[in-house]
Amino acid sequence: MSATLADPAPSRLRLGLRAATIAVVIALAAMPLLNRLPVDSAFHVSDFLVSITGKWICYAILALAIDLAWGYAGLLSLGHGAFFALGGYAIGMHLMRLIGPRGSYGHPVLPDFMVFLGYTELPFFWWGFQSFPYALFMALFIPGLLAGIVGFLAFRSRITGVYFSIITQAMTYALMLAFFRNDMGLGGNNGFTDFKELLGQPLNTALARSSLFYAALLSLVGVYFLCAYITRSKLGRVLIAIRDAESRVRFLGYSVTQAKLFVFVLSGMIAGLAGALYVPLVGIINPGEFAPTNSIEAVIWVAVGGRGTLIGAALGAFSVNAIKTWLTSVAPDLWLFALGGLFVAVTLLLPRGLLGLVRKGDR
């Protein structure tokens, strides 16, 4: 435990924060149930609110992934949207395979876009995706592998700071261009959509929707505890030390490359999981998910909530997206200005984010 002899007892604010977090999780868990109430009930929650909250839960998982890498190890990735999208594509490939002969062209194996493009057989990288466990594994493995390769090359060459951020941004941009190409065999421009079922359940039922919602919520809680376990371990302290004085950590005999690689790969995998949960919920994945702005927006969620706090990252994902949903419906043209303004305001006025207001003594 990070608690040392002289660690002060948790303050009242901290206890309050913990209680508030638990209350929020319980409220989230109740949403699909309240959705079943009659529409005229005072406690009824609309379909729209449930579905958008499900999306935000996935975003919160992505935010935790970014906070683990950025808030603790100081790795500001501007390409986490790529890991998210790759996880989404892996599950999307599974969902496409499950459509089977129900596609417009009625081909027993090939998805519609392949028939349209004149494919006669399934490309090798689509093999195995009819299996859900395999697709789920790939949703974690491919983002982890990409994070491992990019991280290994960058950390071994001691690329840090803004240069690392630029490399990750270029990575997601390059992937976006690649995925836009039709001959990638991944749906090109249109991506994947029109999914029918998952795990034997038709996706358009209330049961499927609430199951996906609960899968996301459980994952959020699980990922939070995993991140909390890591950041409270000695490894967490090593990561903070790397963030603040990297070369000193080397002279203590720690391999900075290994520690960074561990956290970056894990973070990429968590982002992949978030994408895998997201795609069945929203019913579509296309190359737009790789857009550099998505990655930057996700970093802003973490900055707004408070980096290096975990809870703050999740809070930031929910609050910024709530503002986005509201503002894009009342004044869509203002959203990007508001996002930029929010980032500047938080950096200047709340360098430790919303959570910095509560947790004064944190690091």
Partner 1 sequence: MKGNQLYLDGVTVMFDGFRALNNLSIIVEPGEMRAVIGPNGAGKTTMMDVITGKTRPTKGTVRFGDHDLTRMDEAAIANLGIGRKFQKPTVFDALTVFENLELALKAPRGPFACLRWALGGAARSRIEQVQDEIGLTARAGDRAAILSHGQRQWLEIGMLLMQDPQLLLVDEPVAGMTDQETEHTAALLRRIAGERSVVVVEHDLEFVRALGQKVTVLHEGTMLSEGAIDHVQNDPRVIEVYLGR
Nearest approach, Cβ of residue 87 and partner 1 (Å): 23
Number of C-beta neighbours around residue 84 at 10 A: 34
Dihedral of alpha carbons 249, 241, 64, 351, sign = negative
175 binds partner 1 (CB under 8 A): no
Tell me whether residue 45 or residue 159 sits nearer to partner 1 (CB atom): 159
349 binds partner 1 (CB under 8 A): no
Decide if 80 contacts 177 (C-beta within 8 A): no
* Nearest alpha-carbon partner for 172 in 140, 150, 152: 150
H or E element in which residue 193 lies: strand 192-193
Q: Of the candidates 38, 247, 330, 333, which one interacts with partner 1 according to CB under 8 A?
A: 247
Nearest approach, Cβ of residue 263 and partner 1 (Å): 8
User: Using CB under 8 A as the criterion, what x/- string covers residues 214-243 for binding partner 1?
Assistant: ----------------x--xxx-xx-xx-x
Residue whose structure tokens are 């997201």: 278
Environment class of 215 (CB within 10 Å of its CB; exposed 0-12, middle 13-18, buried 19+): middle
Tell me whether residue 204 or residue 258 sits nearer to partner 1 (CB atom): 258
Decide if 88 contacts 143 (C-beta within 8 A): no
Tell me whether residue 2 or residue 347 sits nearer to partner 1 (CB atom): 2
DSSP string of 150-179? HHHHHHHTT--HHHHHHHHHHHHHHHHHHH
Q: Interacting stretch for partner 1, rule CB under 8 A, among 46-54, 62-70, 248-256, 348-356?
A: 248-256
Rounded Cα distance between 16 and 24, Å, is 12
* Nearest alpha-carbon partner for 287 in 57, 81, 56, 55: 81
Nearest approach, Cβ of residue 270 and partner 1 (Å): 16
264 binds partner 1 (CB under 8 A): no
Q: Of the candidates 101, 118, 133, 253, which one interacts with partner 1 according to CB under 8 A?
A: 253
8 binds partner 1 (CB under 8 A): yes
Rounded Cα distance between 119 and 122, Å, is 7
Nearest approach, Cβ of residue 70 and partner 1 (Å): 14
Nearest approach, Cβ of residue 75 and partner 1 (Å): 14
196 binds partner 1 (CB under 8 A): no
Rounded Cα distance between 211 and 281, Å, is 10
Tell me whether residue 195 or residue 262 sits nearer to partner 1 (CB atom): 262
Rounded Cα distance between 115 and 105, Å, is 7
250 binds partner 1 (CB under 8 A): yes
- Contact residues toward partner 1 (CB under 8 A) are 1-2, 4-8, 230, 233-235, 237-238, 240-241, 243-245, 247-256, 258-259, 262-263, 363
